[in-house]
Structure 1
Amino acid sequence: MPELPEVEVSRQGISPYLEDHHLVQVIARQRQLRWWIPDEVLAQLNQPILSVTRRAKYLLIQLPLGDIVLHLGMSGHLKVLPKGTPATKHDHVDLVLSSGMTLRLNDTRRFGAVLWQPKGEVHPLLAKLGPEPLSDSFNIEQLADAFAKRSTAVKQVLMDNHVVVGVGNIYANEALFKAGILPTKPAKEVSLQQLEALVPVIKTTLAEAIKQGGTTLKDFSQADGKPGYFAQQLLVYGRGAKPCMACGIILNEIRLGQRSTVFCSHCQH
């Protein structure tokens, strides 16, 4: 599943093609994705696209009457193509633009979503999400409060979207290594000193990934429009049984919350 940096780079990639243009037609070849595409989405004809924003891993295409909410699911990706480009297998939804271009959603497994959020309302899927990790709302005090009474492993708490959005498996592994925190440590036992290291590390790790992704993806209308996981230097994720880049001992790999978790027993405690 694309993580927050990949979704943010998708937002940055499609925004120039959508903003300040009109949505003239919505073509849904397959309405049954993870959820049924509502009629309100299909009814948004000749509407100006005001902006493209992101909340957690959801993209919001803002129109005068509300927002089209996109989620890429496990395998979805977006492409910008000339209007009338023949659809291929798994090309489920087109947003046809007044510019003569089309934003196309391809989703092999159909776990993505195209939903509607009326103006002034918050979709139920977005209503209880935690703060954005790159915002001021995500800070040491907020995280300390979230950790205070939690006996769950710190990595699992970090990946809880009610605590903070968008810290997925890759970036949780990386941030905890950089902050020197053992991923299996109960959240309530994380010290203030460790929290003071963890919050800025999460912010810089995600910001660097977004920057790298923006550099990698030159033009969203070229290739297949799929940012994928960026070719970045990962310190622990995917490196189980390899030497730690900091101390040289062999990295451990375990399953935690059914997700691969890699750490250094010497550098993290």
Structure 2
Amino acid sequence: MPELPEVEVTRRGLMPHVFGRHILHARDHGQALRYPYPDWRILQGRKILDIQRRAKYLLFCLEGDGRLVCHLGMTGQFRCLPSNEEVAQHEQVCLHLDDGWSLRYCDVRRFGYMAFISESAFSSHPWFSHLGPEPLSDAFTPSWLIRCCRGRRCSIKHLVMDTRIVVGVGNIYASEALFRSGIHPARKAGDVGSEALIRLHAALREVLAEAIRAGGSTIRDFRRSDGRPGYFSHAFRVYGREGEPCVECGGVIQRFKQDGRSSFFCPSCQT
């Protein structure tokens, strides 16, 4: 599933192509996504003023009231293509723009979704009302993380993947940040000391920023808006490296199942 860096890379890649453009018309090709499509007539003639990101959501800010909200699900991706180019396999949605180009959404597994949300309903919408701070924002501080861990019996990895605590951190970047901070992913959040949590706070921000600069991580499906893969996967220190040597100590990276996902760690470097 695309995590914060992949969604942010997508946002940055789309902006030069769609900023200031008017949507002539929009349509889907009849293949259902996770939820029903919005009424595409609402978008007709609207100018795209900005693309923002909140957690793993893309927010197309439109002239007038409302935003087109998009979640990429497991395999969703956007491409900018000439409007006269044929519909590709697995293409679900096309937004035709006023410069002869179109914004195409493709989703092989169709777990993504879109909705039109008015400005007045946005902050209270159930997709957004519970979300914690952005990890790269000033609102996400070491003291916030320390406070959130107090008395918590869940694992530290579970906690940093909880969107009520901090948004956008999935399995890949949680694993990488915990390695850099020397914390075992199964350790109870309430047992992690303040110094280690300060390291984890810094590692989360560092890993996410590095991944954005590298264009995200491509494991199987993710592609940037220009079709290129993300290259941060070449810099993984633990994720997907079971049985390989640790880059720090030379020990063997191990894997175990945690909350239905694979967790990767170094038994020597992470306690």
TM-score exceeds 0.5: yes
8 Å CA contact 1:76–1:106 kept in 2: the answer is yes
Q: 1:160 aligns with which of 162, 168, 175?
A: 162
**1:36 positional shift:** 0.1
Q: Which residue of 2 aligns with 1:110?
A: 110
**Residue 33 of structure 2 contacts residue 111 of structure 2 at CA under 8 Å; is this kept in 1?**
yes
Structure 1 residue 111: deviation in Å?
A: 0.6
Shift of 1:100: 1.1
SS of 1:24's partner is strand
Which residue in the other structure is 1:58 paired with? 57
After TM superposition, the structure 1 stretch with the greater mean CA deviation from structure 2, 121-130 or 200-209, is: 121-130
Matches within 5 A, 1:1-269: 1-30=1-30, 32-39=32-39, 41-63=40-62, 64-122=64-122, 123-213=125-215, 220=225, 222=226, 225=227, 227=229, 230-269=232-271
Q: Name segments (4+ residues, structure 1) moved above 2 Å.
A: 216-220, 225-232
Shift, 1:129, TM fit: 0.9
Are 1:9 and 1:227, in contact at CA under 8 Å, matched by a contact in 2? no
Which stretch shifts more, 139-148 or 179-188?
139-148
CA distance in 1, matches of 2:244, 2:232: 21
Change over 3 Å in CA distance of 1:47–1:77 after alignment to 2: same
Distance 1:219 1:93, change over 3 A: closer
Identity %: 42
Q: Is the 8 A contact 2:179 2:266 kept in 1?
A: yes
**Superposition TM-score, scaled by structure 2 size:** 0.92
* Equivalent-residue separation in structure 1 for 2:111 and 2:228 (angstroms): 16
Is the CA contact 1:79–1:226 (under 8 Å) kept in the aligned structure 2?
no
- Count how many residue pairs are aligned between Structure 1 and Structure 2: 264
The offset of 1:184, in angstroms, is: 0.6
- Structure 1: distance between partners of 2:166 and 2:205: 11
Distance 2:188 2:224 in 1: 43
Report SS of the residue matched to 1:30: coil
Q: Is the alpha carbon distance of 1:67 and 1:92 closer, same or farther for their aligned partners in structure 2, counting shifts above 3 Å?
A: same
> Is 2:10–2:224's contact at 8 Å kept on the other side of the alignment?
no
Instruction: Return 5+ residue gaps in structure 1 as ranges.
Output: none
User: Deviations along 1:212-252, whole A, 9 cap, x unmatched?
Assistant: 117x99983x4xx3645644311000111221111111122
What SS class does the counterpart of residue 52 from structure 2 fall into? Answer: strand
Which sections of structure 2, spanning at least 5 residues, go unmatched? none
Are the aligned partners of 2:214 and 2:231 in contact in 1 as well (CA < 8 Å)? no
- Report the CA distance between 1:32 and its aligned residue: 2.4
Which secondary structure does the structure 2 equivalent of 1:200 belong to? helix
Output the amino acid matched with 2:147.
Answer: D
Distance 2:155 2:223 in 1: 38
For residues 128 and 79 of structure 1, the distance between their equivalents in structure 2, rounded to whole angstroms, comes to: 30
Other structure's SS at 2:43 match: coil
Distance 2:56 2:9 in 1: 11
Deviation at 1:89, TM superposition (A): 2.1
Q: Equivalents in 2 of 1:65, 1:219: separation in Å?
A: 29
Flag the 1:206–1:229 CA change in 2: closer, same or farther, 3 A.
Answer: same
What amino acid is aligned across from residue 270 of structure 2 in structure 1? Q
Would the aligned equivalents of 2:245 and 2:253 in 1 still touch at CA under 8 Å?
yes
- Output one character per residue of 1:93-143: Cα deviation in whole Å (capped at 9) or x when no partner: 011111111000011111111111102322321121111110011111111
Q: Which amino acid aligns with 2:135?
A: P
Contact kept in structure 1, 2:223 and 2:230, CA below 8 Å = no
In structure 1, give the amino acid aligned to 2:97: L
Distance (whole Å) between structure 2 residues aligned to residue 262 and residue 90 of structure 1: 32
* Residue 84 of structure 1, CA deviation: 2.1
Amino acid of the structure 2 residue aligned with 1:253: R
